[in-house]
Structures are given as C-alpha cells and as structure tokens.
C-alpha cells in the first residue's frame, strides 16, 4: 500500500477516526522557477545543468539578486527546498570572480557542517576549479589548521569555535578577515534564547574585527519557518535584512493527522499512552513499506520504540537492520551510515530524537510520526518537514501525550496549522552575556574612547567599569586589556552563567571522567549531595558537591528511586521599568527582580508508584539571579471577596494555565520561563502572578510576555474553557487534589474579571 491508499483506508476506519481530532490535507504545490540570474557566474551553469537544474526556484533567484545588490539577506525555506543554493551560488560566484575573496559559514553543530561541506565539495568538483573549502572546528587536526587559516576560501565553523578559536587569534587569520565577503549563517532559528544572545555578541566581535581589517562582509542567513525571521535576523546581526520568504519549491500533497489517545480514566484525566499508539502507527507504516521517521522526545523512548519496530521485522535475513535508532550519543560514523541508509532507501524506518530535526540531509521520506509535541511549533514543523516529497503524497501523524501542552495542541490544531504566532527571541543586550563578550572584544582589539560595540547600549559605562576593576587599562584615549586571563575561555555559548558545574564520574577510582556540565542555577537542585543524577539512562549518586570549585562527584548506583529537591524561591524587586493600569483596578508591570533560590531538603521517590520513601537535608548556599519579570497585581477588592483558600487556589490554577500557554506563545522551552503566584507578594504587597526569565539577565521572554499579556490571559482562559474536565485536571488548571474543588471555577472567574 502506498501513502495515498493507506490514508484512504484509515479515513474509513471509524475506530481510528474517533480519536482523530483533525485530518488536514495540504494540497500539492507546483514549482515556481525563473532563469539563472545574470549575477550568477556563468561557470556555475554547466555544473548546475549537469545535475538537471536548468532554472532556479524563485526564492533562490530572489536571494541571489538581493545579495548581488549588496543587501544582507534572510531566506526562509522549509526543509528540502534547495536553500544551500541560496548561499553557495553567490559565494562561489564571488570567489570565481576574485580568488582572494573569502567566506565564512557558520552552522550550529559539527554534524551539520560536515553535511553541507560535502555538498559544497561536489559542486566545486563539478565546476573544476580550485576553491578550497575547509572545516575548522574542534576536530580539525592541529597540523591542518595552518593551511585552513592561510588558504581556505570557504571556512566552515560553528559559533563556539568562532568564539574561542578564531576571534581571539584573529592575527593568524589575516587573509580571512581582510577579504571576508560573505558570512553565511544557516539554521538561524536555532539561535534563540541564550545561545542566540551569545551568537549576536560573537557577531558584534566579528564585525568589529572586520572593520579593523577593512572588510565589509555581507550576510546570507537561512531560517526554518518561524513568525519573526526578519526580526530574529536583524537582532542577530544588528542590521536590517531583506527577507526572502516566497518558497518556489514544489511539494506533493500532505496529510496531517492529529491523534489524541483515548481517555482511560476520566476522573484523573489519564489517557492511553502515546508510546503504544506510536508503536502501532509506525509499525503499520513499516509493514506497508512506507519509509518513515518517528520522533520521540527522550533518548529512552527512542531506544524503546526502536526495539519494538525492530522486533516487528526481525528475521534471519537481518531485516531488523531496516529499522534504526538515531540520537545524540551515537558515534559520528554510525550516524553518517544511518543518514546514507535513509537516502538510499536501505533504511525503512528511523526513530530519532530532535537530533535529526536540523537540516541534516536524509532525503525526503513518505511519513513522519511525532510521539509527543516537540516543545515548539517551529520544531514540530521541522520534524513534519522530514516527510514530504516534491511529488507524491506524504503523511504526518501527531500523537499527543497526556502532557498539558500536547493536549492543547491536539485540541487546537489550528494553532499549529495556521499562521504561526511563535517568535524566536534573543536579547543581545542581556547584561551578563554582553559583559562577557565585551571583555572578549576588548581582549581582541583595544576599545577607543567613543567606540561602540555593535548597537549595544552602555559601552561607555562598561569601559569605565572594567577600567575600575583593573581588567582594562585606560590610557591616552584607549582601553587596553590588562589581565592575564583569556576571557573567551570563561564563556559557554550555550548557557548564560559563566561558571558551569562539571560533573565527574568517580566510579572507577583509577579513571575519573567528566560526564557533563550543568549551569550554576540548576546545580543545587539536581547535584546536591545524595541526589540521584540520571545520565544516559544510568543512575548515579552525587557523592560530593564542591560548590566553590564548581565540581560534582558522582558514582554509579542502581537504586529503585529518584530524588526531587525542594526549592525555596524568594523574589525581591530591583527596578520597575513599566507599569500600566489594567482591567479597571488591576495592574501589569515589567521590571527587574532578584530571584534567590535555596535548596533545603529533598525527597526520595520510588519509581512506578511515586511514593515518598524518605527525606534528606541539603546544606548549600543561596544562589542569586538577577532577571527580568512581568507581573499582574490583582486588586485588593477582588481578593477581599474571596475567603480562605479560594484566592490561593484560583491563583494556583491561573499559574498552572500560564505554564501551559507561555512556552507556546513565547516560543521557548518550558524551563526557560518561570510562573510564580504570591497571595501577598513582597514585591507589590498585593496578590500577584509573575512570569520571569529563568536565566540570568533574561533573554526577553518577560518583555514579550508583557507585550502580549492580554493574549496570554485570553489563551489561559480558553484552555480552561475547552478542557472537558469539571473541577480541574493536569491538562489545565491542575488536579483537584492540588487546587481544591473550586479551584477551576475561581481561576476562570478571576481570568474573566481580568480580561475585563
């Protein structure tokens, strides 16, 4: 059976269809093409034609033309629409015209760079010219580095390497910096939050050096579909960009099936698990010879599902090899082999974490099964985009888990299908991040009085501060680096706080090994002494946490419980930035707060039954975090009307609803944003609900929440209204046992009141 036949059959199956909340068919789309533009170097033509390309898609032509006009370009393209041409063609044209010209390619991960470089090699070979393309990352052998620095026309790297390996040693890269014509950044939608805020500052440093060397590179950026590609790109590079978002690539018909597993226990709101359903659907695809990819959220689920599917086709001929698992932690060689297997058709089914979500080339598949919502709409579209050939029908199944966010999506498919309201946010001016990179910049090239650092605010104040601290030395109008440190080594681009905790496995006394890192704000929660720390499915117990040295020592154990620390959070106000009256008597405000976290005790909880087995004390210092927050203050009058626990229960219900809605509309991971309610807040002295950025300095989530505060309340109310439960369940305001019998009603009443 092919996909179209399978779709027909399923639609006639009433048992299946009763749990389908929406079956959306996206019609096929024709290719829209245009002739090769004049700005493309003629020598590229035969190379393209030999691959059967006689015209370009319109988005490719548009981006080539915009680049030729000297504009910075952002191309928004779905998977498999030939986006690499949007940057390879202008870059190759430029180098063909001037062999001194240089380009820098930045990919978020090493795997992606390897993939794109091989494509570029093919193209260069076909043109038959000597254009040197090199990857420069942690894997580049020391002996090869000199050649890369001197001779590489196209240097492919990642943000981390650019930050710590290239910029601080820019004098070794004179050729590159003097002749840099294009900076290509692919997958820019991955640069949101802390990572993006860091990259934006790395780019400020890069452009500052280009200025010193007298080059003026242009940017070519590529993004998957998000709501604000232009805004994201402009914040990232600090200059205006031309947006190219008409997709000219053809696409076959696509079916989108939203499946909500049936309720098993209505009282407790428990549904049948997503994993067994996924097993059935992926199994059905496999048996029908339909090539598919199944996405699961955890590495463990990937392993479990892979085994199920392998069992289904296991035979003496080794057919189990047609099913493969794919996740971080697999060796690069094995990953490449799986990718090749998918492209060649040797592999029929792959089960993956989001590791395959990014633009690694695995060709287009027939079907995609999502076991649970990946967390953001953009990810979901990226995953869905893995299915969908240029011709022929494809199908995507979304299987909801019982998590609140999954339930929201499966019950509001329009949210997912229509114009995405998601924004990728970053905040290059986060003071923690800005200051770290400012130091790097000062190390790389002395600041002069009146200099700016990109469009960052407060250059003067930062310079004064660093001079006062003796890190810079101010003399005759210049600020010179005057510290022994190598500032780039103090920053990890993928987290905000500079000092991370290192996790060291001491199970083998003769061979201690570092197994991971954790930021200092999470460490007290998960790495306190006697905590059970899980890593790749294995259990470890924390033997010792050296708080000052930022090291945790763990030892392998096998116990039947996990631990959960009690975190006491207290908030204090630093500064109110904006305050606005709201809904007659309420107030909404935006400002900066200090979050003080203290872990005092932890619980041991048995697996499966989740019963508490015991307690332990934790003795750790408090950790402070300055961050941005927005909050709603409820009027006293409203509070006075509610006796006893009613107000508290209602506010708890609203906080739970906001925890569902915020990640969706702020486009962030659930742990990036914290929602807290306080019946008598020390900040406002009134009942208050707060949303704050859960990272030092904030990445703009609180600002965004403030700007869309009415929408957030409206959506929170909608979740409560649409939920089938009577008194509350984990998918909306929280279970009755937590919020009381009247919790849901009170929460809804308060929300209506606030919505005016």
Q: How far apart are CA 744 and CA 756, in angstroms?
A: 18
From 14, 141, 317, 476, residue interacting with another protein (rule: CB under 8 A): 476
Considering the complex, what minimum distance in angstroms separates the CB of residue 451 from another protein?
Answer: 15
Considering the complex, what minimum distance in angstroms separates the CB of residue 692 from another protein?
Answer: 16
Q: How far apart are CA 244 and CA 225, in angstroms?
A: 12
Considering the complex, what minimum distance in angstroms separates the CB of residue 578 from another protein?
Answer: 15
From 469, 558, 608, 611, residue interacting with another protein (rule: CB under 8 A): 469
Considering the complex, what minimum distance in angstroms separates the CB of residue 459 from another protein?
Answer: 10
Q: Does residue 22 belong to the site contacting another protein (CB under 8 A)?
A: no
φ, ψ for residue 324, nearest 5 deg: -130, 150
Query: Which of these ranges, 71-79, 252-260, 361-369, 463-471, lies near another protein under the rule CB under 8 A?
Result: 463-471
Q: Does residue 443 belong to the site contacting another protein (CB under 8 A)?
A: yes
Considering the complex, what minimum distance in angstroms separates the CB of residue 496 from another protein?
Answer: 11
Q: Does residue 178 belong to the site contacting another protein (CB under 8 A)?
A: no
Return the number of the residue (464 or 710) whose C-beta is nearest another protein.
464
Residue 591: alpha-carbon gap to chain centroid: 25
Q: Does residue 211 belong to the site contacting another protein (CB under 8 A)?
A: no
Place of tokens 């900040």: 683
Q: Does residue 435 belong to the site contacting another protein (CB under 8 A)?
A: yes
Hey, which residues does 504 pair with through a beta bridge?
Answer: 514, 553
Hey, which residues does 617 pair with through a beta bridge?
Answer: 601
Considering the complex, what minimum distance in angstroms separates the CB of residue 696 from another protein?
Answer: 8
Considering only residues 682 through 721, tell me which ones interact with another protein, judged by CB under 8 A: 696-697
Q: Does residue 475 belong to the site contacting another protein (CB under 8 A)?
A: yes
Residue 152: alpha-carbon gap to chain centroid: 31
Burial classification of residue 689, based on how many CB atoms lie within 10 Å of its CB (0-12 exposed, 13-18 middle, 19 or more buried):
buried
φ, ψ for residue 518, nearest 5 deg: -150, 145
Helix (H), strand (E) at residue 271: strand 270-271
- Are residues 278 and 307 in contact, defined by beta-carbon separation less than 8 angstroms? no
Q: How far apart are CA 182 and CA 213, in angstroms?
A: 15
From 259, 432, 501, 602, residue interacting with another protein (rule: CB under 8 A): 432
Q: Does residue 470 belong to the site contacting another protein (CB under 8 A)?
A: yes
Q: Does residue 484 belong to the site contacting another protein (CB under 8 A)?
A: yes
How, if at all, do strands 586-606 and 623-633 pair?
A: antiparallel
Q: Does residue 512 belong to the site contacting another protein (CB under 8 A)?
A: no
Return the number of the residue (481 or 540) whose C-beta is nearest another protein.
481
Query: Which of these ranges, 71-79, 171-179, 279-287, 543-551, lies near another protein under the rule CB under 8 A?
Result: 171-179
Q: Does residue 186 belong to the site contacting another protein (CB under 8 A)?
A: no
Q: Does residue 501 belong to the site contacting another protein (CB under 8 A)?
A: no
Query: Which of these ranges, 379-387, 472-480, 535-543, 641-649, lies near another protein under the rule CB under 8 A?
Result: 472-480
- Are residues 375 and 663 in contact, defined by beta-carbon separation less than 8 angstroms? yes
Burial classification of residue 53, based on how many CB atoms lie within 10 Å of its CB (0-12 exposed, 13-18 middle, 19 or more buried):
middle
From 448, 485, 508, 741, residue interacting with another protein (rule: CB under 8 A): 485
Q: How far apart are CA 187 and CA 358, in angstroms?
A: 8
From 22, 390, 474, 587, residue interacting with another protein (rule: CB under 8 A): 474
| Contact pattern from residue 611 through residue 630 relative to another protein, giving x for each residue in contact according to CB under 8 A and a dash for the rest | ---------------x----
Q: How far apart are CA 84 and CA 104, in angstroms?
A: 14
CA atoms within 13 A of residue 640's CA, in its CB half-sphere: 3
Quickly list H helices, 534-641: 636-640
Query: Which of these ranges, 239-247, 346-354, 437-445, 651-659, lies near another protein under the rule CB under 8 A?
Result: 437-445
Q: Does residue 32 belong to the site contacting another protein (CB under 8 A)?
A: no
Q: Which CA distances in Å does 183 have to 244, 460, 675?
A: 17, 29, 39
From 3, 80, 431, 545, residue interacting with another protein (rule: CB under 8 A): 431
From 68, 337, 361, 464, residue interacting with another protein (rule: CB under 8 A): 464
From 37, 82, 168, 273, residue interacting with another protein (rule: CB under 8 A): 168
From 442, 571, 590, 691, residue interacting with another protein (rule: CB under 8 A): 442
Query: Which of these ranges, 258-266, 313-321, 466-474, 733-741, lies near another protein under the rule CB under 8 A?
Result: 466-474
Burial classification of residue 52, based on how many CB atoms lie within 10 Å of its CB (0-12 exposed, 13-18 middle, 19 or more buried):
exposed
Residue-wise burial string across 289-328, b where 16 or more C-beta atoms lie within 10 A, e elsewhere: ebbbbbbbbebebbebbbbbbbebbeeeeeebebbbbbbe
Q: Which CA distances in Å does 324 have to 131, 274, 288, 342?
A: 36, 20, 17, 10
Return the number of the residue (175 or 538) whose C-beta is nearest another protein.
175
Q: How far apart are CA 233 and CA 256, in angstroms?
A: 30
Q: Does residue 727 belong to the site contacting another protein (CB under 8 A)?
A: no
Q: Does residue 592 belong to the site contacting another protein (CB under 8 A)?
A: yes
Place of tokens 């829209």: 32
Quickly list H helices, 110-245: 110-127, 142-151, 159-161, 174-179, 193-213, 229-237
Q: Does residue 458 belong to the site contacting another protein (CB under 8 A)?
A: yes
Query: Which of these ranges, 130-138, 179-187, 436-444, 660-668, lies near another protein under the rule CB under 8 A?
Result: 436-444
Q: Does residue 548 belong to the site contacting another protein (CB under 8 A)?
A: no
Which residues contact another protein by CB under 8 A?
168-172, 174, 431-432, 435, 442-446, 457-458, 461-462, 464-465, 468-470, 473-476, 478, 480-488, 574-575, 592, 626, 696-697
């Amino acid at each position: 059976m092919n996909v179209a036949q399978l779709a027909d059959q399923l639609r006639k199956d009433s048992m299946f269809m009763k749990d389908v909340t929406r079956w959306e068919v996206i019609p096929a789309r024709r290719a829209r093409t245009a002739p090769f533009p004049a700005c493309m170097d003629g020598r590229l033509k035969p190379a393209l034609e030999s691959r059967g390309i006689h015209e370009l898609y319109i988005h490719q032509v548009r981006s080539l033309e915009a680049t030729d006009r000297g504009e910075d370009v952002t191309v928004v393209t779905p998977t498999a629409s030939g986006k690499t041409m949007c940057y390879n063609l202008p870059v190759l044209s430029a180098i063909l015209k001037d062999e001194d010209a240089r380009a820098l390619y930045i990919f978020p991960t090493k795997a992606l760079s390897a993939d794109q470089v091989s494509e570029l090699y093919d193209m260069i070979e076909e043109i038959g010219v000597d254009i040197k393309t090199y990857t420069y990352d942690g894997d580049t052998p020391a002996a090869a580095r000199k050649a890369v620095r001197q001779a590489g026309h196209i240097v492919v790297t990642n943000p981390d390497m650019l930050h710590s390996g290239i910029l601080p040693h820019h004098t070794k890269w004179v050729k590159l910096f003097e002749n840099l014509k294009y900076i290509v950044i692919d997958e820019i939608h991955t640069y949101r939050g802390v990572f993006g805020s860091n990259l934006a500052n790395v780019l400020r440093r890069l452009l500052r050096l280009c200025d010193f060397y007298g080059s003026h590179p242009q940017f070519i950026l590529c993004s998957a579909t998000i709501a604000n590609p232009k805004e994201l790109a402009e914040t990232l590079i600090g200059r205006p960009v031309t947006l190219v978002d008409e997709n000219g690539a053809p696409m076959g018909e696509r079916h989108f099936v939203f499946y909500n597993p049936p309720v098993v226990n209505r009282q407790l709101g428990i549904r049948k698990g997503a994993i067994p359903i996924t097993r059935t659907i992926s199994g059905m695809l496999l048996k029908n010879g339909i090539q598919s990819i199944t996405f699961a959220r955890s590495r463990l689920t990937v392993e479990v599902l892979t085994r199920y599917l392998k069992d289904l086709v296991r035979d003496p001929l080794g057919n189990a090899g047609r099913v493969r698992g794919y996740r971080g932690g697999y060796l690069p060689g094995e990953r490449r082999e799986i990718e090749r297997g998918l492209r060649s058709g040797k592999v029929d089914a792959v089960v993956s974490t989001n590791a395959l979500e990014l633009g690694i080339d695995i060709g287009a598949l027939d079907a995609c099964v999502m076991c649970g919502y990946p967390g953001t709409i953009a990810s979901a579209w990226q995953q869905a985009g893995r299915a969908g050939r240029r011709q022929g029908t494809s199908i995507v199944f979304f299987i909801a888990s019982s998590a609140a966010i999954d339930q929201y999506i499966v019950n509001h498919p329009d949210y997912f299908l229509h114009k995405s309201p998601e924004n990728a946010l970053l905040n290059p001016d986060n003071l923690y991040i800005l200051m770290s990179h400012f130091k790097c910049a000062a190390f790389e090239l002395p600041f002069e009085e009146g200099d700016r650092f990109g469009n960052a605010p407060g250059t003067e104040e930062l310079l004064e501060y660093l001079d006062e601290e003796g890190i810079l030395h101010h003399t005759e109008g210049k600020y010179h680096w005057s510290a022994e440190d190598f500032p780039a080594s103090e920053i990890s681009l993928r987290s905000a706080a500079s000092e991370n905790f290192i996790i060291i496995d001491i199970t083998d006394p003769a061979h201690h090994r570092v197994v991971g890192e954790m930021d200092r704000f999470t460490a007290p929660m998960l790495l306190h002494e006697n905590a059970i720390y899980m890593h790749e499915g294995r259990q470890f117990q924390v033997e010792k946490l050296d708080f000052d040295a930022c090291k945790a020592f763990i030892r392998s154990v096998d116990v039947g419980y996990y631990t959960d620390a009690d975190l006491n959070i207290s908030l204090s106000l630093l500064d109110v930035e904006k305050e606005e009256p709201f809904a007659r008597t309420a107030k909404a405000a935006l400002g900066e707060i200090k979050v003080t976290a203290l872990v005092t005790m932890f619980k041991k909880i048995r697996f499966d039954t989740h019963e508490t087995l015991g307690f332990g004390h934790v003795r750790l210092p408090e950790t402070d975090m300055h961050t941005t927050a927005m909050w709603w203050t409820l009027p006293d009058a409203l509070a006075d009307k509610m006796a006893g626990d009613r107000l508290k229960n209602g506010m708890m219900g609203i906080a739970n609803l906001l925890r569902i809605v915020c990640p969706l509309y702020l486009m962030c991971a659930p742990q990036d944003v914290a929602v807290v309610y306080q019946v008598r807040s020390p900040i406002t002295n009134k009942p208050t609900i707060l949303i704050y950025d859960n990272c030092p300095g904030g990445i703009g989530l609180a600002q965004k929440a403030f700007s869309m505060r009415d929408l957030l309340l409206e959506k929170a109310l909608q979740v409560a209204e649409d939920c089938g439960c009577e008194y509350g369940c984990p998918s909306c305001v929280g279970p009755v046992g937590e919020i009381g019998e009247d919790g849901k009603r009170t929460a809804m009443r308060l929300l209506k009141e606030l919505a005016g």
